[in-house]
Amino acid sequence: MSATETIAPAAPLLPILVVPDPLLRKHARAVTPADYDEVRALIPSMFATMYAAPGIGLAAPQVGRLLRVIVVDVAPDKVPAPLALINPEVVAESDDKCAREEGCLSLPEQYAEVVRPSWVRVRYQDVDGVKHEVEADGLLATCLQHEIDHLNGVQFVDYLSPLKRNILLRKLAKEVKEQKERRGRR
């Protein structure tokens, strides 16, 4: 059984928004108790969409929902380690930084090195509203920070110099235009 079938059996896939969709620049609102039924239904589809992409993280704004919800699994090809975080916030981070190449499902096929704290502690709620904390370093720390940024309308390209950011965004725009043209010819 695949990770998708284990975590999100038969959950519908959601369309992933691509930059420059304006929704990706908006701040997501906190999940309240009134939202929990919607969030419980959303999370399996977010996992299914993330695994199908394939990716290691996905934030609700990337699928058009302005709710503070993220899903991550930094081991999709090994043993699944899915983590759904509601209202996540970084409550502590290391002074030391590390650089890691990042990509994003909302900026397909675009990658750049980003410098972030090498360790974080994140406070969040689970689908029952119970509060938890997770400490992370390495890839998980990077992934958590990246996805939490999406909840605040921030993209990994915002950490790049203006020159690097513009090159990457122009390349993405060109690739998106070419894809649309190819689809139009079919």
Q: Is 147 annotated in the active site?
A: yes
3-state secondary structure the chain: CCHHHHHCCCCCCCCCCCCCCHHHHCCCECCCHHHHHHHHHHHHHHHHHHHHCCCCEEEHHHHCCCECEEEECCCCCCCCCCEEEEEEEEEEECCCEEEEEEEECCEEEEEEEEEEECEEEEEEECCCCCEEEEEEEHHHHHHHHHHHHHHCCCCHHHHCCHHHHHHHHHHHHHHHHHHHHHHHHC
Active-site residue, from 5, 89, 113, 147: 147
The residues annotated with a catalytic role in the active site are 147
